[in-house]
Amino acid sequence: MSHKVTLIPGDGIGPEVALAAKRCIDATGVAIEWVEALAGQDALDKFGDLLPQSTLDSIKKNKTCLKGPIGTPIGTGFRSINVAIRHALDLYACVRPAKTYAGVKSLYKDIDLVIVRENSEDLYAGIEFEEGKPETKEIIALIEKFGKKKIRPDSGISVKPISKTASERIIRYAFQYALLNNRKKVTAVTKANIMKFTDGLFLKTAREVAKDFEGKIIFEEALVDNMAMQLVQKPRNFDVLVLPNLYGDILSDLCAGLVGGLGIAPGANIGEGMAVFEAVHGSAPKYKGMNKVNPTAMILSGVLMLKYLKENKAAEKLESAVAKVIAEGKDVTYDFKPDPKDPSAASTSGMADAIIAKIK
């Protein structure tokens, strides 16, 4: 069966790593019709819009998108184009696996865990009130009235909404993901002992959802501060972690650090019947056009995409080719070399060529 996939090259290093990933995915033999769409600087230059409606429509139509990183020019009215895409398409689940591959410089071995982060609410909902503004003063007065707490008049305010609906949706997604991917345990991570009505609601919902998976998936709960320590001390104890937006963002970077950094951290943003796959890293503009950076995170995002498309054999082939190239340590980019100045380091396209050569 042939799949239609929207391809957004992105900017900075985006086009280089997106092309490397596309070539590797095609080399698995899966039939994909790529439909290119623009977002970011290219879209602004061509259509006068950083995020054209036609790009969102293409993703809605094709249901699957592979996206290169996009930088957000300052002063454009967007906090982040990447976040705008997630919001516009209601991609509520951010899935970020953290897995060690032999040959990657890392303090740990045998880590294989998955962060499932809620993508739409929490302190990242973008509801903020600037210090000194009249509306901020009104909000402060209201909070003092109902919250019976004093707030300094020169405060800025960020609002943390967490709903039962969005919590249930992400927690159910995490359990179902665990079931489908032969995982054993889901840990809900919050600060429910302090933020009782937001994190507390998330945890209460998690306990309820967990009952539907009793006997199939183990459920555990943890506080986010303690989880940060445990992840550093004994990361192998964890399997699937489900978290509200902010903690998910922070701990997914921590987990990327555990397994060797941004060069190897893939990601997926999943909504109802629709998904956008992208590396965790950004557009690293200083490396633009140098054919130098590591394409692995983007290629592994392609592995996640192939699994989403139920092309499991192709996904396994590609992941194992990536693992072999990394384990050999020869045709890898500078950041995977013991000495980053090693002149024998592969280029972005060179590493992709080596991976393609290993796909059987």
Residue numbers annotated as active site: 124, 191, 225, 249
Task: Return the range that interacts with ligand NAD (CB under 6 A); candidates 119-127, 226-234, 252-260, 282-290.
Answer: 282-290
Pairing between β-strand 266-271 and β-strand 274-279 as defined by DSSP bridges = antiparallel
Work out which of 6, 59, 64, 71 binds ligand NAD, going by CB under 6 A: 71
**CB closer to ligand NAD out of 213 and 334:** 334
The yes or no reply on residue 72 touching ligand NAD (CB under 6 A) is yes
The DSSP code for 159 is -
Query: Is residue 55 a contact point for ligand NAD (CB under 6 A)?
Result: no
Binding map of ligand NAD across residues 74-113, x = CB under 6 A, - = no contact: ------x-x-------------------------------
Summary count for the chain: helices (H), strands (E) = 12, 12
Q: Which of 58, 283, 301, 347 binds ligand NAD (CB under 6 A)?
A: 283
CB 217 within 8 A of CB 185: yes
Task: Answer for the pair 21, 27: CB distance below 8 angstroms, yes or no.
Answer: no
Residue in the structure block whose two tokens are 């609601």: 201
- Applying CB under 6 A, which of residues 24, 30, 69, 277 lies at the interface with ligand NAD? 69
**Residue 335 binds ligand NAD (CB under 6 A):** yes
Coil, strand or helix: which one is 118? strand
d(CA 287, CA 14): 10
Query: Which residue number, 45 or 154, has a Cβ lying nearer to ligand NAD?
Result: 45
CA distance 87 to 91: 7
Return the structure tokens found at 6.
């929207």
Q: Residue 242's beta-bridge partner residues?
A: 116, 188
Q: Are 116 and 173 in contact (CB under 8 A)?
A: yes
Q: Which stretch binds ligand NAD (CB under 6 A): 136-144, 193-201, 283-291, 352-360?
A: 283-291
CA 251 to chain centre: 11
Which residue is associated with the tokens 């796959």?
277
Kindly write out the interface string for residues 226-265 of this chain, putting x where it contacts ligand NAD by CB under 6 A and - elsewhere. Answer: ------------------------------------xx--
Residue number of the CB closest to ligand NAD reads: 282
Cβ closer to ligand NAD: 190 or 333? 333
Which of 11, 7, 26 shows the shortest CA–CA distance to 352?
26
* 284 part of the interface to ligand NAD, by CB under 6 A: yes
User: d(Cα 236, Cα 113) in Å, to the nearest integer?
Assistant: 8
Which residue, 68 or 171, is less far from ligand NAD as judged by CB? 68
Residue numbers 288-307 binding ligand NAD by CB under 6 A: 293-294, 297
Between 185 and 292, name the residue whose CB sits nearer to ligand NAD: 292
> How does 36-73 read in b/e, with b if 16+ C-beta sit within 10 Å?
ebbbbbbbbeeeeebbbeebbebbeebbbbbbbbbbbe
Amino acid at the residue 106 = S
Stretch that binds ligand NAD, among 46-54, 152-160, 205-213, 276-284 (CB under 6 A): 276-284
Closer Cβ to ligand NAD, 198 or 348, answer by number: 348
Can residue 136 be called a binding residue for ligand NAD (CB under 6 A)? no
Question: What CA–CA distances, in Å, run from 21 to 14, 217, 244?
Answer: 10, 33, 30
Site string for ligand NAD, 2-31 (x = CB under 6 A): ---------------x--------------
Binding footprint of ligand NAD on the chain (CB under 6 A):
17, 69-72, 80, 82, 262-263, 278, 281-284, 286, 293-294, 297, 335
